[in-house]
Amino acid sequence: MKNTIAERILDFLKNYPPFNIISKKELRSIAEQVEVIYIEKGTPLFSQDEKPHRLFYIVHKGAIKLTQEDTGNTSIIDICDEGDIFGLRPLMLKENYLMHAEANEESILYGIPLDIFKPLSEKNKNIKNYLITSFASNVKDPSIIEERGNTSSYIAKENNTDLYNLQKAVFTKKPISCKPTTIVKDVALTMRSHSIGAMVVVKNKKPIGIITSKDLRDKIVTGDYDISSEAQTIMSTPVATATEEITIPEAHIAMLKHSASHICITKDGSSKSKLTGILSLHDLVVSLGSNPSVLIKEIKRAKKSKHLRRIREKVALLLNTYLEQELPFAHIANIISEINTVIIIRSIELCLLKMEGPPPVKFTWVALGSQGRREQLLRSDQDNALIFEDVPKSKFKVTQDYFLLLSSKVVKYLNTIGYEYCPADMMASNPKWCTSLTHWKQQFDNWILKPDESGILLSSIFFDYEFIYGSQDLTDKLTKSLFKTLNTDNYFLNRLAKDIIDKPSPVGFFRQFIVEQDGEHKDFFNIKIRALMPLIDAARILILSHKVSTSNNTLQRYKKLAELEPQNKDLFNSCERAFRTLLKFKTEQGILNGDSGKLIQLESLTKTEKLKLKRAFKPIKEIQELLIFRFNLKQML
C-alpha cells in the first residue's frame, strides 16, 4: 500500500531544485523520511548562534523570515516562500546558525533529515554544487568582506544555460615553494622577485604550511619574529587543500570556512599528497571573466562603440549568472547599475572628443526614470537629459546648439551600444530636455504649481533623475529649487497620490490577473504598469512628502521611510520585499524572452510562479490605502 503522504511530498519536491535532479527512487526514500512541520506566524524555528538542527528545510506553504542581528541592529536577510530551501549551515559547515528564522505567516515546512540527504549530495556533484551555491549566496562574514572584498561576486558558471554545470577554478600550476628551514628573509625576497602574495612551505613535496604577505606583515614587521627565523616558525598551518577539480563556488566556500586567501591544490585533495598548484582569491577573480571590476577597467579603456557593445553583452551574461546563482537582488542591481553608469560616462567622454571644441559652459548629464532610480537592468530604452549653466539671452541659442549636437552624438552612440531610443523622445537630444538650469527650474515649477495630466506624467519620469557626468552642482541647485517649490504647494502631492490610486489593479475581485484587453499584447499581463509602478510611485510621493532628496532608488526609499515612520515599518518593509520580488521576476522574464520583461504571457508561468506574484501584490493595496488616508483622498474618489 502506497504511503499517500510521502507521495504528496514527493510530488511537491520534484518541482524544485535540487530535488528535481534526483532519481524518483532516491527522492521517494527521502520523502518517506521528511518531517512535516506546522508553524504559526511569529514562531521562531531557529535562532542566531543556536546549535544546528538535524534537518534543513523547504517551505511547502507560507513564508519564513530570515534575519541577522549585528550590534543591536536587526536586518532582514531574506523571505523564503514556497519551494525555497534554508537552514543549510549544518549540512555545509556544521557550525551554529548565523541567522534567526521565524514564520512570517502561518507556514508548513518539510524538514529534510541531514543523515538521509548528505550521502546523496556527496555522491551527486550537481546536487552538491547547487547546495554550495545556494549557501554561498547568503554567507555574510563582515571581516572577510572588509579584508578581501565581496567574494560573493566571484561565483560563476561555465555555461549560463546550465544551472548545475559550474566552472572550474583556474589556479597556478607551478607554485613557488620553500622548505621549512628556509630563512624568512629569503622567502620575502623570493615573493618580491616573483610578484606573488604567498609561498607554500613543503616537506617531501607535500604542503605543510603557507606564508602570505599578511604573515610577513603581522609577524615580522611587528617584530614578533626575527627576519632570520625559519619559515616553519611563522607559516600558517594546516593549509586548506583541494583537488584540481575544485569549482569556483567550492573554492569560495573553502576560503570562507578556513578564513584563507589561498588553497593548496594537491594530487588527491589532501595535505598528505603532492602539491600540484595553488589557488588564490585573485585567481577566482580571473576565473570569472565578467567580474565587475574587470569589466569597469575594460570600459574605461574602451576607444570605440564596438568595444563598449561587447562589454555590455558581457554585462548581460553577468546579470544572468548572478540571477541563476540567486545572489541578493539588491547587490545585483547595484553592480549592474554601476557598470551601466560607467558605460554612459565613457560614451560621453568619447563623444566629447569628437566635438570641435570644449563645452562653452558647465553642464551635467542626468539619467531619468528607471535609469535614474538605478533599476534598469535589462536592455530597454534610454531616458536622459542635459542641464547647462545659465548664459546671457544673446548666447543661449549657440550654447544650446552645442549641447544639442553633443547630446545627439551621445544618444546615437548609446543606441549603437544597445540602449534603445526612447519612443517618447525623453532624451537629451530633444531641445525640451537640453536646456539651461533656469529653464529646468521653471519646468519643474510649472509641473508642481500648475499640475495637469501631462505634468503628472512627466514628473513621474523627471523627478527620478540622477547625476551621471559633468558638474554635479547644477543638479544640486535644481534639487534645492524643486524642494523649495514643493514646500509652497501641497496640492501637487495630492494630485500625484490620486494618480497612484487610479492606477489599474494587478488582480480582479476573484484574484484573477488583470490582463490587456486588446491590441497586439491582448491577454498579456503588464507587470510594470500594474505591479511595479504603484510601488515606485508610492515610494516617490512619500519620500517627497518628507522632503528627502538623498535617494531615488525605490528599495532605498522604502528603507528610509521605515526609519522615518516606525509605526508603518512593517508595511514599508513588505513593499520593499514585494518590489524586489517583482523587479527580479520582470528581469528574469526579460532574459528568458529577450525583451524588457514587462509583458508576461500568463500561460508560460507555473502555478508556483503565479502564486509568488500574487503574494507580492499584497502590499500594493495597503500602500494605496495609506496614501488615501495620508493625502485625504476619500472625497476625491
In the prediction, which pLDDT does 166 show? Answer: 45
Domain assignments of the chain as residue spans, ordered by start:
4-139, 177-287, 319-477, 494-636
At residue 290 the predicted structure's pLDDT band, cuts being 50, 70 and 90, is: low
- Cβ atoms 28, 6 nearer than 8 A: yes
Q: CA-CA distance, 135 to 256, in Å (whole number)?
A: 11
- Cβ atoms 559, 600 nearer than 8 A: no
The pLDDT tens digits of the residues spanning 462-503 come to 889 999 999 999 999 999 999 999 887 668 888 888 888 887
pTM for the whole thing? 0.60
**Residue 617 parent element (H or E):** helix 607-630
φ, ψ for residue 584, nearest 5 deg: -65, -40
Q: CA-CA distance, 544 to 476, in Å (whole number)?
A: 16
The pLDDT tens digits of the residues spanning 343-364 come to 999 999 999 999 999 999 999 9
The CATH code of domain 494-636 reads: 1.20.120
* Residue from 537, 564, 547 nearest 623 by CA: 537
Read off the amino acid at residue 408.
Answer: S
At residue 152 the predicted structure's pLDDT band, cuts being 50, 70 and 90, is: very low
Average pLDDT in the 3-8 region? 82
The CATH code of domain 177-287 reads: 3.10.580.10
Q: What is the share, in percent, of the chain residues with pLDDT greater than 70?
A: 89
More confident residue, 77 or 115: 115
In the prediction, which pLDDT does 69 show? Answer: 83
C-alpha cell at 625: 490605502
Average pLDDT in the 449-472 region? 86
Q: Side-chain half-sphere of 481: how many Cα atoms within 13 Å? A: 18
In the prediction, which pLDDT does 139 show? Answer: 38
The pLDDT tens digits of the residues spanning 209-264 come to 999 988 898 899 888 999 999 999 999 999 999 998 887 777 877 887 777 889 99
Domain 4-139, classified CATH 3.90.550.10, yes or no: no
Domain 319-477, classified CATH 3.30.460.10, yes or no: yes
Q: CA-CA distance, 305 to 185, in Å (whole number)?
A: 50
Whether omega for the bond prior to residue 506 falls within 30 degrees of 0, making it cis, is no
Average pLDDT in the 547-563 region? 91
In the prediction, which pLDDT does 157 show? Answer: 31
Rama region for 514: left / alpha / beta (φ>0; ψ in -120 to 50; rest) = beta
